Amino acid sequence: MASDKTVLITGAGSGIGKATAERFARGGARVIVHDFRDAGRQFAGSLGAAYVDGDLSAFAGINRIAEEALAIGDGKIDILVNNAGFQHIAPVDRFPEETWAGMIQVMLTAPFQLTKAVLPGMKKQRWGRIINIVSMHGLVASPFKSAYVSAKHGLIGLTKATALEVGEDGITVNAVCPAYVRTPLVEAQVADQARIHGIAPEAVIPNVMLQPAAIKRLVEPDEVAEFIWYLSSDLARSITGAALSIDLGWTAR
């Protein structure tokens, strides 16, 4: 498995990233937690993991983040999990342009920059895993999420193109597309969704987040973390360029 590997996970201070860091730590991997909040630093300390801070919305700062992580990994990152993200809910004609640009940077440009930084080491050793956490909104759209949907659709395109370029180097590149996961990011959406849809907050999860789903519950972070662990293993060596759903049947309609 990935027990002898170094893994960099962005946005690992909470949610899917945190569960993924915990899973790799249990498996014996060298974990590098990236975040920009005190909670991320504290979590890394409690896990016994290395920590790299930095704001992914700053284009010029990504190289520093990559350099620090590579230094921790003795010049290489075996597994990159591009997980960091955020959401803003608004109609297109009232979507703040600065927020749009920030979301594209964090969820599409930063993964490209980090992928570019780690590929030379992966190619040299002829082994690597890049896993992009996308969301079902990389496959389908929802209203009021234009920037998020655009970034996630683009990230699937980056996943596929990169996979085709590096397949002969022993590197796989895949996208994981969960439905709504029980995370602070999703919980923070409830009030905004209620306001914009004109419904009570308690109606958001059943009537908006789970309405199209076949399985009527939120995805748990550890479910996604286990799938990332599998994709990082040699058992998944034939899977690349794929957009893989963990979406409760959300996109089956």
Q: Which of the residues are catalytic?
A: 148
Half-sphere exposure of 69 (CA within 13 A, CB side): 31
Token pair for 69 = 């992580």
Looking at residue 219, what DSSP letter applies? B
**Looking at the chain, how many residues does it have?**
253
Select from 111, 109, 123 the least CA-distant residue to 166: 123
> What residues have CB less than 8 Å from 58, skipping those under 6 apart?
105
Sheet with strand 6-9: strands edge to edge = 50-53, 30-35, 6-9, 79-82, 128-133, 171-178, 243-246
Distance, in Å, from the CA atom of 231 to the CA atom of 172, rounded to the nearest integer, reads: 9
- Contact (Cβ atoms closer than 8 angstroms) between residue 62 and residue 56: yes
CB-based burial of residue 168 (10 Å sphere; 0-12 exposed, 13-18 middle, 19+ buried)? exposed
Compute CA 52 distance to the chain's CA centroid, rounded to the nearest angstrom: 16
